[in-house]
Amino acid sequence: MMELQNLIGGEMTNPKSGAWLENVEPATGQVFSRIPRSNAADVDAAVQAAHAAFPGWSSSPLEERAACLRRWGALIARHSEALIAAESQDNGKPVSLARAVDIPRAQKNLEFFAGAVEHFASEAHIPGGAEFIHYTHRKPIGVVGCISPWNLPLYLFTWKIAPALAAGNCVVAKPSEVTPLTAWMLSQWAAEAGFPAGVFNVVHGLGHEAGQALVEHQGVKAVSFTGGTQTGAHIARTTAGMFKKLSLELGGKNPAIVFADCNFDKAVATTIRSSFANQGQICLCSSRILIEDSIYETFRDALVAKAKRIVPGDPSDASTKMGALVSAPHRDKVLKYIGIAKEQGARILCGGVAAPAPNDRCTSGYFVQPTILEGLGPDSSINQEEIFGPVITLQRFSSEADGIALANDSAYGLAATIWTTDAAKAHRVASQVESGIAWINCWLVRDLRTPFGGVKSSGVGREGGVEALRFFTEPQSVCIPTR
């Protein structure tokens, strides 16, 4: 059985408590590795190691930090086949998705922030007469905590640690206990990439134990968190009064607003992808499909016909497009929501049940059919709560204002997609939709320089490009007279 370890002060270490957690392969339901069940003592050791490394790392030349990140990126590329297989085994996602998205993007995150920090500039303000010069000195914060979820494990892990390290901070990272494998692999190559001991540390374990200890630690000056809204609220409460910098990337209940004048085929094909990619377990997935009255039936029927052709398969099979849900509790949560939808009077247009095992290897795996529901009002819990699985609902709207109101009738505000060929309407709707991201006639197209994050219960703060580098630095205003 594979045994994962923490990386603390440059050493791969066992948990101080001697306790371990089992790690399950979602496609088979079988335990295939174990991970440290770290506690506050492990976190404290990691924070101390990071503090010891901070003076050296924070004063190292930018080029040296960038070079470490680039070498790490090259190591991801060199080990990409192993990482693709590991991500699929650990998460249940198809290898085709890990190959196309997760692993290349993890490499790109490291390379992107290596370049971004070299181009990162701060402001100077020179009033008329130039009697004084004010400039902004952006300093690394110190030791920062990076906590990531299970849905895009290495992709979101690197999205946080790369800007933190590039900006000169030392990091204690806690990957999801549900998908720890690729973060562990990456941690094994930190020294080879050139990071001095203690600059980058990984502590594995449960959220309410290792995660909580990291968030509470007085030596951790900033916390960058991606995960569920309830956990984010708990972290905000925990850190209130501790004056830490906090970045929260949380859940979503994303609308796709489909107007009658859309490019029909493109809207159907992309909505299938935006609904069911990664088994619907992407925070940016569409989950409420809002369709203009006059095309409601034709759009619905086209969507359902395509969804019925998606057959969940063994994630390790190269031809599989939909894999397994991440865990038994998560599969059960998704099926419970489908049960509630039925009780609330939803019509199940396709799916609605667990999917049969694709082969003998996967008889105990966590497969769910892509599910499309209609007939529920906007206030129904199914239309309000995040399900985070392959389940979408259809609702109709009669006017532009009605569509926007329906889209905004949510506690969340992460990502919206808008489908129309009327350019003016597209911009008008985008400006009125309450979301951190609006995709017009496309989905999941990313430029890493753009601000990324949500409004309302979807989060506080922005990641990406200079936003991330600003988060991971503390600005000091310096003023000096010129005479």
Binding residues for ligand NAD, rule: CB under 6 A, are 147-151, 156, 174, 176-177, 207-208, 211-212, 215, 226-228, 231, 234-235, 249-252, 283, 386, 388, 414, 454, 458-459
- The secondary structure of 402-469 as a DSSP string is HHHHHHH-SSEESEEEEE-S-HHHHHHHHHHS--SEEEES-SS---TTS-B--EETTEES-BSHHHHH
Closest separation between CB of residue 217 and ligand NAD, Å?
11
Measured from the CB atom, the residue of 211 and 313 that comes closer to ligand NAD is 211
Q: Which residues contact 343 (CB under 8 A, 6 or more apart)?
A: none
Closest separation between CB of residue 144 and ligand NAD, Å?
14
Q: Which residues contact 19 (CB under 8 A, 6 or more apart)?
A: 36, 37, 39
End-to-end Cα distance, the chain: 70
Return the residue matching tokens 């200079």.
466
Closest separation between CB of residue 325 and ligand NAD, Å?
12
Q: Which helix (H) or strand (E) holds 37?
A: none
Measured from the CB atom, the residue of 99 and 174 that comes closer to ligand NAD is 174
Measured from the CB atom, the residue of 286 and 420 that comes closer to ligand NAD is 286
- The secondary structure of 219-283 as a DSSP string is T--EEEEES-HHHHHHHHHHHTTT--EEEEE----EEEEE-TTS-HHHHHHHHHHHHHGGGG-ST
Give me the residue whose beta carbon is nearest to ligand NAD. Answer: 207
Measured from the CB atom, the residue of 28 and 231 that comes closer to ligand NAD is 231
What type of residue sits at position 424? Answer: A
Joined tokens for residue 274 = 């935006």
Residues marked active site are found at 249, 283
Closest separation between CB of residue 209 and ligand NAD, Å?
9
Q: What's the length of the chain?
A: 483
> What is the phi-psi region of residue 323: left when phi exceeds 0, alpha when psi lies from -120 to 50, beta otherwise?
beta
Measured from the CB atom, the residue of 207 and 465 that comes closer to ligand NAD is 207
Joined tokens for residue 94 = 């198809």
Closest separation between CB of residue 150 and ligand NAD, Å?
5
Quick count: other Cβ atoms within 10 Å of Cβ 82?
A: 12
Closest separation between CB of residue 181 and ligand NAD, Å?
14
Joined tokens for residue 419 = 């489908």
Measured from the CB atom, the residue of 153 and 198 that comes closer to ligand NAD is 153
253 in Cβ contact with 410 (< 8 Å): yes
Return the residue matching tokens 């609220």.
233
**How crowded is the C-beta side of 401, counted as CA atoms within 13 Å?**
0
Measured from the CB atom, the residue of 151 and 275 that comes closer to ligand NAD is 151
Distance CA 446, CA 370 (A): 25
Q: Which three-class secondary structure string do you get for 349-367? A: EECCCECCCCCHHHCCCCC
Distance CA 300, CA 296 (A): 6
Measured from the CB atom, the residue of 300 and 456 that comes closer to ligand NAD is 456
Pairing of strands 132-140, 143-147: unpaired
Nearest to 288 by CA among 419, 416, 115: 416
